[in-house]
Structure 1
């Protein structure tokens, strides 16, 4: 099963990596969360867990344990993808200006803010 899962994971990572190319200048402002990488990685993790349970139920404990380890690594990848998308969609606010109370600091030149 690992010989099937490894190429599938590589193709999934390649497809998700190439998917983001060229999107840097599409929109201005705060982008929405992109749920596609999270859902694809979550589906892959779920498939690995189903295979692990099948191995454990069919009296193959070592193969099931390896599948559980692969699922744990895939779950870490899902959480990392979610965290990156959350940070991209919710940027940190600008610090407040010390000269003007409660007003975010901005450049005095309006051309710089574009």
Structure 2
């Protein structure tokens, strides 16, 4: 199973990287969150987890444990992909001057 999962994981990573190349950095607004890499990696993680459970039930605990390890690694990559897409879609707000809001104060009413 690992001989099948390794090339599939490599192709998923490669297609995720290639999808990001076509985006321009000249956008002034934050782009929408791209959920495709997260969904693909999540599906791969779920498939590996199902295979692990099948191995565990079919009295192959070592193969099931290896599959659980692969599923845990895939889950880390899925969470990292989600976090990267979330940060890209929700950039941090620029700080205001001296921590003050952008409203003008009225000196007459501030006294």
Larger radius of gyration: 2
Give RMSD over aligned pairs: 1.7
Q: What is residue 107 of structure 2 aligned with on the other side?
A: none
Structure 1, unaligned stretches of length 5 or more?
Answer: 105-114
C-alpha separation in 1, matches of 2:82 and 2:100: 35
- In the alignment, structure 2 segments of 5+ residues that lack a partner are 104-111
1:16 aligns with 2:16: yes
Matches within 5 A, 1:32-71: 32-71=32-71
* Worse-matched range after superposition: 57-66 or 26-35: 26-35
CA distance in 2, matches of 1:76, 1:26: 30
Q: In proportion to residue count, which structure has more helix?
A: 2
How many residue pairs get aligned? The number is 103
User: Which one has more relative contact order, counting CA pairs under 8 Å at least 6 apart?
Assistant: 2
Matching of residue 81 in structure 1 with residue 94 in structure 2: no
TM-score (norm 2): 0.86
- SS, match of residue 20 in structure 1: helix
Displacement, 1:25?
4.2
Runs of 4+ in 1 over 6 A off after TM superposition: none
* Per-residue deviation, 1:26: 7.0
TM-score (norm 1): 0.84
